[in-house]
Structure 1
Amino acid sequence: MAGFFLAKCAAVHGRREPKDWYDIAFMLLHDQYGGPAAAELVNTRFAADLKGEVTTALRDLAANFAVPAAQGPSAYVDQLLVDHPDFDADVATADAMTAVQKFCRNLGVN
């Protein structure tokens, strides 16, 4: 899973596809290895690699989940509401922003 999270960070940085933004937020929120465990896994497996382009991708990820109108939370909520139209968009936006910001912060990226 650590590799998945870093690969998804690279994907959102490079491709900027809505599915990539959705996938990383969804996994951080709903996977058993999401939340604080995700950053711990990445730190354990890839601590030596968290520099250079990886740090740039993580900063980009954090920036794109920093405000509700950014492409990260927007893409996450758009897809989530297709799959679960009963979810509250504002709550889902806040959840996605919080999950991604915590993940990045726990990796030492603000």
Structure 2
Amino acid sequence: MTANPNGCRICGLDERGHAQRWSKSVGWHKWTPPTQAQIKRRMQDRRTARLFAEPPKYHATTRYTGSAGDPDDEGYAVCADCGTDACPQYQRIQTRLAISLTDPTAPRSAGSWGGNPSWPF
């Protein structure tokens, strides 16, 4: 994780909640504003980290396991992020999509997403 661009000049922590901090280079110190060069470097580092980060996984995309060149092998649908059909998040989304496609008047309450009520989401 990269330092906040407007974090402390010495340790990179935010001003709020910084108070007194210990650093090997200077010992105890108060929050000190960063230099313009530090702000620029931290922003560049944060951008570089975003460019090379793994894309987020939403478990909402479908991938099919069938052979690409064989029209007779349709395969079956799996979660494109984790590659399994047992993904609870993927199943919940697919169930909700199926309900909304078959019954557009289905209730949209918080508990109507279908699936197992013991799931943590």
Bin for the TM-score computed over the shorter chain: under 0.3
Larger Rg: 2
- Which structure's relative contact order is higher, taking Cα pairs within 8 Å and 6+ residues apart? 1
Q: Larger helix proportion, structure 1 or 2?
A: 1
TM-score norm. by structure 1 comes to: 0.26
Choose between structure 1 and 2: higher strand proportion. 2
The two structures have a TM-score, normalised by structure 2, of 0.25
